[in-house]
Amino acid sequence: MTAATRAFRIAYDGREYAGFQRQPHAATVEGTLLRALSEHGIVDRGDGPTHATPPGYAAAGRTDAGVSAVSQTVAFEAPAWLTPRAFNGRLPGSVRVWAAADVGEGFHATHDAVSRTYRYHLFAPTEPEPASASATRDAESARGLGDRTRAEERASTADPAVPVPPAHDDRVRDALARLTGEHDFHNLTSDGTGTVRDLTATATRRGDTLVIEVTAGGFPRALVRRLVAAVRAVGRGTADRSLIDRLLAPDAIPGERGVGPAPPEPLVLWDVSYEGVAFDVDPEAAASARVALASATETRGTRPRRPERSATGSARGGVTTGIGMPTAIGVVTAIGTTETTAWTGAVRWPARRLASPSRRRAPVACCRRRSPRRRYRRSAVPWPASARR
């Protein structure tokens, strides 16, 4: 069987996975990919997700649990018949391969990447929000930013009639401008090494959403999410602009005044660039990815709520979709095209993370007997046959 090193572009809905990197006791994107390769007979089948890896295997990056991707890249020695369409034949709808490129021997998807781009889709309306809708998020995002007392006081005494000031674009962009350039980001990551990075950060408004785009050669752990948390605090006025200067200073910030990471669901690995590598889009595979990921958005991660709490600010029959996560509709326009538009649907900063269906526990037999419909009404998981009485 003739094999050549081939790189694949992969899009995935990360909400139902415990990150990209494979783990022995959790569902991950990488474990799903290797399981597909084992079912194709390309690698040896292992125990659970611990399948072998093909020769030359490497991935562009390791996204955290809940983080999605449009252009994650893996490369390995693959047989000529393994096209994106064939790869998808053994993959679930939440993981889709949509392009491939033959690369030279010795190509490494991690080390040969010139730059990586992430996009965080932050709900930031231009009009003031009612205090009751945003007080909890303010208190959560301000923790550790030196303004905890003010935010918690606002949350505890919130008057629904008193509007809360929205994020100001000029403050957000000023904070991002200060973060752009080569800095030591040791106060924005838990990593002890590799914290000096040359970074470019911008913000683009699309309706009620601020799309924060961050590009660098590589990223320490949780850097983008902590950066977004700091920028949002400055933009909303829950922290002073001098916070950015303190974060970039050589002195370490105490833990109680540090910046925690923003929620992972609105974060997307948007692009990974390589010098001299041109990916060929498989039109049918790209179409399959668009359909699968768009369908995933409509059927997973929904939760009954009042219409005014919808992620897009509009009522959808009393059901909110996409709270705490980006919708996959943007992948429909991004996969297989040169136009990388934003993911549609404004994303709120969730006060409480919404668990994906794969993380919800199935009701036990005794619960089904007592009240099966009540338990299943709260999730997007279909009722089992035994509960349909």
Q: Determine which one of 13, 64, 138, 271 is catalytic.
A: 64
- The residues near 2 (Cβ < 8 Å, ≥ 6 apart) are 79, 80
Q: What is d(CA 235, CA 226) in angstroms, rounded to the nearest whole number?
A: 14
Tokens of 30: 């990488």
Distances, alpha carbon 140 to alpha carbons 9, 27, 220, 260, 370, in Å: 36, 28, 23, 9, 37
Q: What is d(CA 271, CA 194) in angstroms, rounded to the nearest whole number?
A: 21
Beta bridge partners of 280: 100
Q: Is 64 assigned a catalytic role?
A: yes
Q: What is d(CA 186, CA 193) in angstroms, rounded to the nearest whole number?
A: 8
Active site amino acids = 64
